[in-house]
């Protein structure tokens, strides 16, 4: 496998940084997660919403005083070339990452210390279950006024790791964060949608969560299907009384939720709105829906 390593494409084993790096010692960095899907011809790979992901990475880097090595078009081409050099003809996950690679002591962010890498890996299912059981975590989502979740900072994921470990230890598949004010925020690495009486609801990104590209896509896809959607704050008990619930994200795609804190939702299976969206999403990302082809960037000419 080949990795892009701050200006060069190198073998994975040669992509190494020092144990003294501020990225390791202090978590100073931000990243993106991007999927590519194998088209029905078995050869072409279609990268989902590449332009939006690169734009978000640019904005994230600017927020935390890091610098990307080029323009939007140049970063996009680095990622596409990475897929080509790895001869990918399967579903793939791309991870661009920019971080502070200074070896000096103390957590200080400086543009001149920026280091950019990107790697790829095969990825089919991120959560290997048809429906999952989740819990509301005792850990709270870090406030945007402390660490901004919208920039996907590397250091923030200690928060996610603690919540997910707690969930696993108690027999659940995933954790749900509340904000410090008690409103639903997101999963450990996914956004939340609930359905009640035929209407979809999702908390806004102002509830200390990521401005999710998959989430925004699902809102658009719901409109395509004529499914009503409302963005608003959601209380904890609303999770228990919803007819359906699913988590979504680049990795999770659309993952149905069976139960929340041992409360089974609906009939315990995949709800009808969730199923419609799952099927439509799969068609969109593999290039079968003409009106959404502009979301897809082909890797191979």
Residue 214, Cα to own-chain centre: how many angstroms? 7
Number of domains composing the chain: 2
CATH number of the domain enclosing 46 = 3.30.470.10
pLDDT in tens, 205-248: 899 998 899 999 999 999 999 999 999 999 999 999 999 999 99
If asked whether residues 264 and 235 sit together in one domain, one would say: yes
If asked whether residues 280 and 140 sit together in one domain, one would say: yes
pLDDT reported for residue 129: 87
Domain final residue, candidates 71, 92, 122: 122
Asked if the structure places residue 291 within a domain, the reply is: no
If asked whether residues 44 and 146 sit together in one domain, one would say: no
pLDDT reported for residue 273: 98
- Residues identified as active-site: 152
The range of the structural domain enclosing residue 194 comes to 132-285
Q: What is the largest CA-CA distance in the chain?
A: 56
If asked whether residues 144 and 278 sit together in one domain, one would say: yes
CATH number of the domain enclosing 159 = 3.20.10.10
Q: In the chain, which residues have pLDDT < 50? A: none
Residue 47, Cα to own-chain centre: how many angstroms? 14
pLDDT in tens, 6-38: 999 999 999 999 999 999 999 999 999 999 999
What is the residue-wise DSSP string for the chain?
-EEEETTEEEEGGG----TT-HHHHH--EEE--EEEEE-TTSS-EEEETHHHHHHHHHHHHHHTT---SS-HHHHHHHHHHHHHHTT--S-EEEEEEEEE---SSS----GGGEEEEEEEEE-S-SS-SSSEEEEEEEEEPPPTTTS-GGG-BGGGHHHHHHHHHHHHHTT-SEEEEE-TTSBEEEESSSEEEEEETTEEEE--TTTT----HHHHHHHHHHHHTT--EEE---BHHHHHH-SEEEEEETTTEEEEEEEETTEE-TTSS--HHHHHHHHHHHHHHTT--GGGGGGEEES--
């Amino acid at each position: 496998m080949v990795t892009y390593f701050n200006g060069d494409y190198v073998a994975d084993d040669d992509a190494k940084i020092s144990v003294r790096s501020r990225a390791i010692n202090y978590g100073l960095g931000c990243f993106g997660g991007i999927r590519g899907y194998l088209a029905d011809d078995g050869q072409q790979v279609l990268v989902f919403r590449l332009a939006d992901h690169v734009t978000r990475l640019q904005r994230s880097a600017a927020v935390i005083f890091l610098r990307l090595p080029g323009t939007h078009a140049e970063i996009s081409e680095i990622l596409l070339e990475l897929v080509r050099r790895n001869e990918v003809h399967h579903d793939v996950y791309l991870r661009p990452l920019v971080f502070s690679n200074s070896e000096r002591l103390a957590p200080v962010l400086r543009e001149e210390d920026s280091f950019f890498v990107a790697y790829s890996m095969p990825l089919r299912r991120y959560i290997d279950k048809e429906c999952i059981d989740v819990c509301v975590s005792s850990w709270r989502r870090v406030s945007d006024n402390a660490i901004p979740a919208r920039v996907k900072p590397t250091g923030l994921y200690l928060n996610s790791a603690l919540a997910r470990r707690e969930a696993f230890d108690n027999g659940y598949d995933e954790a749900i964060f509340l904000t410090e004010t008690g409103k639903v925020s997101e999963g450990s690495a996914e956004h939340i949608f609930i359905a009640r009486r035929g209407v979809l609801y999702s908390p806004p990104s102002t509830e200390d969560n990521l401005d999710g590209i998959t989430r925004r896509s699902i809102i658009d896809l719901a409109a395509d299907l004529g499914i009503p959607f409302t963005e608003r704050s959601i209380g904890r008990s609303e999770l228990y009384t919803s007819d359906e619930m699913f988590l979504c994200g680049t990795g999770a795609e659309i993952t149905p939720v069976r139960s929340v804190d041992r409360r089974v939702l609906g009939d315990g299976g995949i709800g009808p709105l969730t199923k419609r969206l799952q099927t439509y999403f799969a068609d969109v990302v593999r290039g079968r829906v003409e009106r959404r082809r502009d979301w897809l960037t082909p890797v191979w000419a």
